Amino acid sequence: MRTWLPPIVVGLVVLALWQLLTVVAGVPSFLLPAPSAIAAQFGENAGRILDASLATGTNALIGFVAGTVLGLAAAVLAVRFGVIDGLLTPLAAAAAAVPIVALAPLLNSMYSTTTETPRRLVVTIVVFFPVFVSTARGLRQVPKVQGDLMRSYAASGWQITRAVRLPAALPHLFTGLRIAAPGAVIAAVIAEYFGGLQNGLGSRITSAAANTAYPRAWAYVAGAMCVGLVFLAAVLLLEQLTRRPRTPLLSTIR
């Protein structure tokens, strides 16, 4: 209860103050709709929000998996080979410095407007950097004595990576995944602002806002928040499942 009760209480207090502010102060809906109005629109458009969430969530999931695999593979190669490290690290930093609002329109112009490929590529690029940096850092922080012990048993470079480096880097990998999971949803939503198929949360938000249906737009924003929370919860669950008691080093070699 000490873990989940305080955030719930704070959230309820914020919603109550939000409702009180918008009703008592008479804040216009185009500035800030009341939570009750947003909840009403969420209920009325639950089916549409679910469909849009599935479309955006699918793009985010595919890009998240692709970015994670590429980031993990790149980190392993960068740690094993100094030349690759010198090539990949600046490229990864450069990719992370490119804003989504500049990348999404460019990719949309390169591909057909009837494909989801640009949005998935945007998510892949956004996810790649935190996974690559976190995993590479974890792979490099293995104690030297463990690597020396493995080499004394004539272990190959891949065996050292598999038995020592990767297990030791798991906490760092999941740190990167916790950052990348909500970022994948954000990237997928923002990428939908710049054209393409009108089936995701981002396009529905812009459409509702353009028609001055601000409570409905906020309802789609709430749907995007739910998708982001699902992604983060999945990563936390996976992290719990991968935790295991420490085993002797010789048994992992075998």
Which pLDDT tens digit goes with each residue over 230-252? Answer: 999 999 999 888 876 555 444 44
What's the pTM? 0.84
CB atoms within 10 A of CB 6: 10
pLDDT of residue 250: 45
pLDDT of residue 148: 57
pLDDT of residue 143: 65
pLDDT of residue 253: 46
Candidates 223, 129, 224; CA nearest to 177 is: 129
Backbone angles phi, psi at 87, to 5 degrees: -85, -40
- 178-194 as b/e, with b when 16 or more CB fall inside 10 Å? bbbbbbbbbbbbbbbbb
> Can you tell me whether residue 41 is helix, strand or coil?
helix
pLDDT of residue 81: 80
- In the chain, which stretches have pLDDT less than 70? 143-164, 244-254
